Chain A
Amino acid sequence: MTERRLIFRIDYLLAALALILGLAGVALINSATHSRPLEGLWLKQLFVLGAGTVVMLIVGMINYRLFVRLAIPIYVIVLGMLFFLAIFGRAAGGARSWFAFGGLNLQPSEFVKIALILILAKAFAAIERSYLTLADMWRPLAIAGVPIALTAVQPDLGTAITMVPLLMGIAVVAGLRFRAVVALLLIGLILFTFAWMFVLKDYQKERLRSFLDPDDDPTHSGYQIQQSLIAIGSGGLTGKGLFLGSQSQLNFVPAQHTDFIFSVLGEELGFVSVVGILMLFAAFFARALLPLRDVHDVAGIYIVVGAVSFLAFQAVINILMSIGMFPTTGVPLPFLSYGGSSLLSNMIAVGLIISVYAYRDAK
């Protein structure tokens, strides 16, 4: 096995699934932005997708153990960027996070996820027991807590939230007891209550509230969900056809090329394509998780689990958010939503998975 050449050890199917999802995203972005001032964004996304594919393959060809070794410096660098943003970003004027379309702005918070996968894999791998208690969690909690807090105050609640399942996914697989999970959730709830009262901004509270009853106040935040529901609901079984959705083409759904890309899919290509994309995702995650039985390196297992956790969580949250089953938290759909940083970090995560399988027998 070790003799197999590197070029043959790359999981091209997994890479292809990610690329297909990305291409579907490009098509939807084109439809969502066509004949609007944003026209042409799909080209940008296609370019990032191409670059991301290259980056993904390069990462996949590098032994992931190198990254694990470099986890701390990577973590520190990304964290430094976050700190910089937290201090100077604010002074530059509170740009509304989910409203800021535009150029290829690098969003460090997206790359925090990659850094977190590596450093948490390293941290959990250092704990050589098959069951963990709450006491084992302090270090990982501190490691993840700092970027989560820094991202949340940016304010980018959506990205902050997606880091939680990343942590919890690895922790559960590492053997965190059920009691401890419950205890952590309780602590999280208490922290959330505290945040609601003292930290959360009004618009964030508004979004959470509107989630609870989108019909109650249709002119405010629930509006987005309402319009998205109309778009998706009116798509029916087979949809109205690409470029033909009245909701999508007339731009009724805010952020439809980013967080609400699924409303375009639902309206224009219908339930059939929604199931199709869900199956593509399922195939991707199955392909990412099933070969784990051949991986014996714990850090490698954690890297796969971490990457899958945040990607799957983001996918589920985004898809449910689009039809109002989850608050509008500003979580992009992996591979499909417009956004260079997000797409790039997703592709790097896939690259890490590929690397784990390519180098599973190496040292």
Chain B
Amino acid sequence: MRSPSDVIILQSRARWLLFLIVGAFSLCAATYWMVQIVRGPYYSQLAENNQFRERNIAAPRGKILDRTGSVVLVDSRPAFNLYAIPELCDDVGECIDKLRQMVGLSEQELQKVEQRRRRLPDFRPLLIKEDIPFELMAFFEARERRYPWILIAVDHRRSYPMKKTAAHLLGHVGEITETQIASDLFPGSRPGSMVGQAGLELRYQRYLSGDDGRVVQVVNNLGRVMREVSRDQPLPGQDLLLTIDQELQSRAEELYSDKQGALVCIDVRSGDILAMVSSPAFDPNSYIELFPMLVSDSDSPLLNRAISSKFSPGSVWKVLIAAAALQEGIMTPERKELCAGAVNLAGRFVHCHASGGHGSLNVVEALTLSCNVFFYKTGHRLGIERIAKWAGRFGFGELSGIDLPYEVSGLVPTPEWKERVRGEMWYPSETVSVSIGQGPLEVTPLQMAVFMAAVANGGKLLTPQLVRGVRDLDGTVKYFPHPEARSVGIDEEHLRVVREGLYGAVNRGGTAVRARIPQISAAGKTGTAQVIRKRFGLKPEDLPEEFRHHAWFVCFAPYEEPEIAVCIFVEHGGSSNLSSVPLGAEFLRAYAERREGLKRNVGVRITE
């Protein structure tokens, strides 16, 4: 048993314990005072940075289908991206190594993974490989418990089952750029959104894109996701129904497999583009991989020649001169001009391609034979102002309004234009050049097709359309109304005369006889566009030999009751007789075969 004094010593020691505790608590209070009062404002600021964050859930993009709704040109497929979450790994290096063995990563991919890993905090999913095969995805999904550190995220990718078909029209999607975000042209998009960057993908972005879903998360000041607050599921985009007929389009593309150029086939009644080819083309499936090559290719495969390239119209222009002259009353169907092989006009001696001359001919014969002298004289009488006026009425020098971006307007020269751009006055001799489609004229293949359609349909200038409508998820199709056609202002009786001339060119021993086929009656006009534009004294003879001319053939069919107008353009085709016209014949044959099918399809509501 202890002595009482011993116990008193113990009690006093225990009291010291109380002092110790009170001292420690005072220290606690002091440190909290430092943190909460002295440094309080600093931490308040940090707390404000701990905030909500919205994350996008990309909506599946709509498909792009041909006019029948049965052929998928652009598909949206899910792509599975493989991630690892480092903080859930015992050893990140081991995890990555395991994935490397399972999915097969190249040295380069492995380096990229390492780079990403250094940038990202451990709780952020680390992208290992994009677009892994479905089997691998299924493999990992089934083993979710075994590999809790593996994350598979789905995104949507574009695929092009028809490969090169209509590649120029479809365009492509890509991540939205900073400028695009700032531009307000992409409502509802945000950094990281995939948006249409070209072609129909761009133009019909708002139908295709759907509405992205959104998940609101709480993140801390380091960006770690703490919890989900709300989630809106995405609304998938609508499918796009093109005016393009896949069968016709494919046939047309085959025709261009070994050629450069463009083809436009338009329905003269509605403005629907049934086929639009630009060659060379590319396979959009490998667009990203091939992009550097495509861009530097001197043949410009990325260029949509049908709407973005402009050329001299050549003799096709004579059709416009004829129509204008008839309407202006400076010419009648009966009036004849003498072609002696050459003529002196406005102080210039100009030749016809027929060296002996065509003799005396009227407008129908002149169109049939493409007589230069006849149109030199007619154009000279019309004058540049009136030529420009009627060219404008027919849609030249302005955008056709087709539903594709990056269309160019071409050029119809006027004295004002020359004064403004070149600071020189207009010479009447230039009018002579313009009369047969030379000089500074620039037209696109699409403008040529729309022009020919107006000749064929009685003077209605159509707005060409590539999209018929959109199809909802439930299969209901909403057709877009056809834009109102503008009247060109040329009477049908005059147009009938012009059409007769064009009929002769194909069917009565004219310049396009090779386009005469039994299946369908056609009428059309050939033309030649110089590769280096002839200007101001530079004569074709002075051109280097390797620059062969481009060949045009612009036609409509059937002659009696026109359905389509076609513009065929072959770059460096040389003689149209050997290039554009036979090609046109092939296309007309293809159309004749497809005609019944197309008729059946018109106006049919497509529901699935």
Contacts and interface: CB of A to CB of B under 8 A. Distances in A.
Nearest to A249: B218
Interface in A296-329: 296, 298, 301, 304-305, 308-309, 312, 316, 319-320, 323, 325
Q: How would you classify the secondary structure of chain B's contact residues: helix, strand, loop or mixed?
A: helix
Contact of B10 (A235, A285, A301): A301
Contacts of A175: 9-10, 13
Contact of A271 (B32, B218, B220, B226): B32
B47 A305 contact: no
Q: How would you classify the secondary structure of chain A's contact residues: helix, strand, loop or mixed?
A: helix
Which size bracket describes the interface of A in this complex? 35 or more
Nearest to A250: B218
Interface in B1-33: 1-2, 4, 6-7, 9-11, 13-15, 17-18, 21-22, 24-25, 27-29, 31-33
A270 B25 contact: no
B332 to A, nearest CB: 87
Interface in B509-563: none
Given A169-B17, A173-B14, A278-B25, A236 B44 contact: yes
Contacts of A308: 17, 21
A305 B17 contact: yes
B11 A233 contact: no
A136 B122 CA distance: 50
Contact of B35 (A130, A223, A233, A278): A233
Interface stretch (A56-64, A224-232, A341-349): A224-232
A246 B50 contact: yes
B573 to A, nearest CB: 65
A304 B221 CA distance: 45
Nearest to A267: B47
B37 interface: yes
Contacts of A214: none
A227 B27 CA distance: 22
Given A219-B123, A227-B220, A247-B50, A130 B10 contact: yes
A297 B296 CA distance: 98
B476 interface: no
Contacts of B2: 128, 130, 298
B121 interface: yes
A47 to B, nearest CB: 27
A274 B27 CA distance: 12
A295 interface: yes
Contacts of B4: 296
Contacts of A252: 50, 220, 226
Interface stretch (A2-10, A71-79, A286-294): A286-294
B451 to A, nearest CB: 65
Contacts of A309: 17
A40 interface: no
Contacts of B29: 274-275, 278
Contact of A266 (B25, B32, B44, B222): B32
B21 A234 contact: no
A54 interface: no
A174 interface: yes
A184 interface: no
Given A232-B32, A235-B36, A285 B43 contact: no
A80 interface: no
B47 A230 contact: yes
A236 B39 CA distance: 9
A234 B222 contact: no
A228 B14 CA distance: 34
A292 B37 CA distance: 37
A174 to B, nearest CB: 7
B50 A230 contact: yes
Contacts of B25: 278, 281-282, 316
B14 A289 contact: yes
A219 B28 contact: no
A172 interface: yes
Interface string A240-265: 00000011001110000000000000
A229 B13 contact: no
A139 interface: no
Interface string B413-438: 00000000000000000000000000
B227 interface: yes
Nearest to A302: B10
B36 A285 contact: no
B473 interface: no
Nearest to A169: B17
B222 A233 contact: no
Contacts of A319: 28, 32
A206 B221 CA distance: 21
A94 to B, nearest CB: 11
A103 B178 CA distance: 51
A69 interface: no
Contacts of A247: 47, 50
Interface in A200-240: 218-220, 223, 227, 229-237
* A-B CB proximity, top 6 nearest: A233-B43, A219-B121, A234-B47, A271-B36, A234-B44, A236-B40
9 contacts: A173-B14, A174-B10, A175-B10, A236-B36, A250-B227, A285-B18, A289-B21, A308-B17, A309-B17
Interface of B: 1-2, 4, 6-7, 9-11, 13-15, 17-18, 21-22, 24-25, 27-29, 31-33, 35-37, 39-40, 42-44, 46-47, 50, 121-123, 218, 220-222, 224, 226-227
Given A230-B43, A230-B221, A289-B18, 14 more contacts: A128-B1, A223-B222, A229-B35, A231-B47, A233-B47, A252-B220, A266-B32, A271-B32, A274-B32, A295-B11, A296-B7, A301-B11, A309-B17, A319-B32
